[in-house]
């Protein structure tokens, strides 16, 4: 459901309507004066935020670490540095 903002020039009021894109009406009736002839869409008041999907390894890592607590982040950081320095507790045969 999208929220559309309209402005009525007859009674000078602004109102919003929630509807799906398939139900969209360009000039709905004003809920205050029931007029639809001078009702216009106020595009500036509509809030459409489109965030393009990011499919890089770094964006996936950032999204994954954003769900972790600070303690988990510190533990992962320490584990990574220990692995990087060759101080792993696991031995491979």
Q: Identify whether residues 37 and 6 lie together within a single domain.
A: yes
User: Does the residue 93 lie in any domain?
Assistant: no
Please check whether residues 60 and 81 belong to one and the same domain: yes
The domain containing residue 69 runs over which residues?
51-88
- Tokens encoding 30: 């004003």
pLDDT at 41: 87
Q: In terms of DSSP bridges, do strands 2-8 and 13-19 run parallel, antiparallel, or are they unpaired?
A: antiparallel
> What pLDDT is recorded for position 54?
66
Total structural domains within the chain: 2
pLDDT at residue 50 in the model: 57
Spatial CA neighbour of 47 closest among 92, 90, 4, 87: 4
8 assigned to some structural domain: yes
pLDDT score of 33: 92
Q: Which residues of 4-26 are buried (b: 16+ CB within 10 A; e: fewer)?
A: bebbbeeeeeebebeeeeeeeee
46 falls within a domain: no
What pLDDT tens digit does each residue of the chain (93 aa) get? 788 889 999 998 889 888 888 888 888 889 999 888 889 888 777 766 556 666 787 777 777 778 888 888 888 888 888 888 886 555 555
């Amino acid at each position: 459901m999208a929220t559309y903002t309209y402005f009525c020039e007859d009674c000078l009021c602004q109102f919003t309507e929630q509807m799906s894109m398939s139900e969209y009406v360009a000039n709905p009736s004003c809920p205050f004066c029931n007029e639809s002839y001078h009702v216009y869409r106020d595009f500036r008041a509509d809030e459409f935020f489109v965030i393009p999907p990011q499919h890089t390894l770094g964006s996936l890592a950032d999204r994954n670490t954003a769900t972790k607590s600070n303690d988990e982040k510190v533990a992962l950081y320490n584990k990574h540095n220990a692995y990087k320095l060759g101080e792993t507790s696991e031995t491979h045969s």
